[in-house]
Amino acid sequence: MDHHIVPVELQKAYRLLNHGPTVLVSASHEGVENVMSAAWSCALDFAPPKVTLVLDKATATRPLVEKSGYFVLQVPNMAQLQLTYDVGHTSANDTPDKLAKAGVRLFRVEGYEVPLVAGSSAWLICKVLPEPRNEQVYDLFIGEVVAAYADDRVFQNGHWAFEKADPRWRSLHYIAGGNFYAIGEAVVADTNKT
């Protein structure tokens, strides 16, 4: 594993998603691996940390999540702009070599079968908390974060450091039609006023 990839304390894992980045979702089952992008993912709880994720029934990733009970949310960055768009706009159902075409490289961490996308800024390994009604009616999955990692070039001492890191590390925030915004400048509210 890249020596820049460091564990994130679980009680601070929510911070990896708190600013609303578009994420990459990875999963695998019986040797089949897939990655897709998702703008509709969100923190749900602090401790134990939980997340929500919308997974359309048409995606090839969803059955991998359902069968394995695990998914990974990774926070992609500017250097992964085209990759993030590409894995969100091709399906392994139509393009079996989708991951190779998009330039996705996968790796694993000890203790988990689920693959992680190399080059991302952060990774949250999530175990599905089965909620059949949410999954069927709303395509909404709930996961408990069981492990979290970040690249220490952009996440340091429990905080994002976008303002200090190279711009290639900025997170991506999707709108539509290939149009994203990168995360911008740090701004601080007066915490003593109230």
For residue 54, state whether it binds its own copies (rule: CB under 8 A).
yes
Binding residues for its own copies restricted to 92-151, rule: CB under 8 A: 95, 101-102, 131, 133-134, 138-140, 142
Query: Residues 6 or more apart from 134 whose CB is under 8 A from it?
Result: 140, 141, 142
For residue 19, state whether it binds its own copies (rule: CB under 8 A).
yes
Using the CB atoms, write b or e for 150-163: b if 16+ within 10 Å. Answer: bbbebbeeeebebe
Window contacting its own copies (CB under 8 A); options: 38-46, 60-68, 112-120, 143-151: 38-46
Cα–Cα dist 152/129, whole Å: 29
**φ and ψ at 146, to 5 degrees?**
-105, -15
Q: Rounded to an integer, what is the distance from CA 110 to the centroid of its chain? A: 18
Judged by CB under 8 A, which of 89, 105, 108, 164 binds its own copies? 89
For residue 164, state whether it binds its own copies (rule: CB under 8 A).
no
Residues of the shown chain interacting with its own copies in the complex, contacts defined by CB under 8 A: 15, 18-22, 39-45, 50, 52, 54, 78, 81-82, 84-86, 89-90, 95, 101-102, 131, 133-134, 138-140, 142, 159-160, 162, 170, 172-191, 193-194
